Amino acid sequence: MCGDRVEWLPAGGDNSGVIETILPRRTVLHRADGNHGQRPLVANIDQVIIEAALEPALDYFLIDKYCIAAELAHTEPLILINKADLLQEQDRERIGLLIIEYRHIGYTTLLISALMNTGIEAFADSLSGKTSILVGQSGVGKSSLVKCLLPDRDIVTGKLSAASGLGKHTTTATTLYHLPHGGQLIDSPGVRDFHLARVPDEELDYCFREFRPYLGQCRFHNCRHLSEPGCAITAAVAEGGILERRMASYRKLIESGRA
């Protein structure tokens, strides 16, 4: 899979070769496979770059699911909000609050514009020396962002559908790019949604970083943090220590059978 390290032997004089061994994988990012299991997407990554944008509409639940997938893979999430050039006055408070919230949780969050080249330098710095995968909805501008980093490469970019307001699949294959200043960036096809494989309860609540200070403090050791009495997590939500929106994401995952 993309990101694998292999041992290979040259075969012929046309730069082709034969893979002999797939080396052990440090990390693997998974998604649901449709049969209550999981399938791997990429291997040996250090960072999951979760790109969202003002268009198509921000999907907070999707961002949270990608953050959980990154936590399960023992990699670091980085959240990008692209298309800052579209930011209207009525959006500034909402987007500013979103960035503050994720940063408070402990996730690096950047506001950028691939079109105007705003924030690209800070983003490029975050890639140095790491292998990262770029994920997100179709139409958020992943290919445009890669084009900013690699202007000499022939990378196809697309636009939102005028009929639906949703993105079209510009990237059709997962591709690894070697960056000029060190590091690798894997561009992945855009999605309409992302489904996690089934996650045990005790792993799911740990994947919400802001839950961790309260874990082990509930009255019942097997508390699912839904309606049980003496729950430290629901108490923290009531007191403002955990965001209602993040708690709603947790409950949706429980109710969907993903936990």
164 and 213 fall within a common domain: no
Domain boundary among 153, 187, 221: 187
Q: Considering the domain boundaries, does residue 3 fall inside one?
A: no
Q: Residue 169: what pLDDT? A: 45
105 and 205 fall within a common domain: no
Q: What is the CATH number of the domain that holds 159?
A: 3.40.50.300
Question: 250: closest CA among 138, 214, 137?
Answer: 214
191: left (phi > 0), else alpha (psi -120 to 50), else beta? Answer: beta
175 and 224 fall within a common domain: no
- DSSP-assigned letter for residue 221: T
The count of residues in the chain is 259
How many structural domains is the chain composed of?
2
239 and 157 fall within a common domain: no
Cis preceding-peptide flag for 24 (omega within 30 of 0): no
Handedness of CA 206, 212, 216, 218 (dihedral sign): negative
**What is the domain range of residue 241?**
201-255
Q: Considering the domain boundaries, does residue 74 fall inside one?
A: yes
182 and 225 fall within a common domain: no
Would you give per-residue pLDDT tens digits along the chain (259 residues)? Answer: 999 999 999 987 788 899 999 999 999 999 988 776 888 999 999 999 999 998 878 899 999 999 999 999 999 999 999 999 988 888 888 899 999 999 999 999 999 999 899 999 999 999 999 999 999 988 898 988 999 999 888 766 545 444 444 444 455 688 999 998 889 999 988 777 888 988 888 899 999 999 999 999 999 999 999 989 999 999 999 999 999 999 999 999 998 866 5
Q: CA 120, CA 97: separation in Å to the nearest integer?
A: 21
Q: Residue 162: what pLDDT? A: 44
140 and 209 fall within a common domain: no
Q: What is the CATH number of the domain that holds 211?
A: 1.10.40.50
151 and 215 fall within a common domain: no
225 and 248 fall within a common domain: yes
228 and 175 fall within a common domain: no
Q: Considering the domain boundaries, does residue 147 fall inside one?
A: yes
3-class SS of residue 2: coil
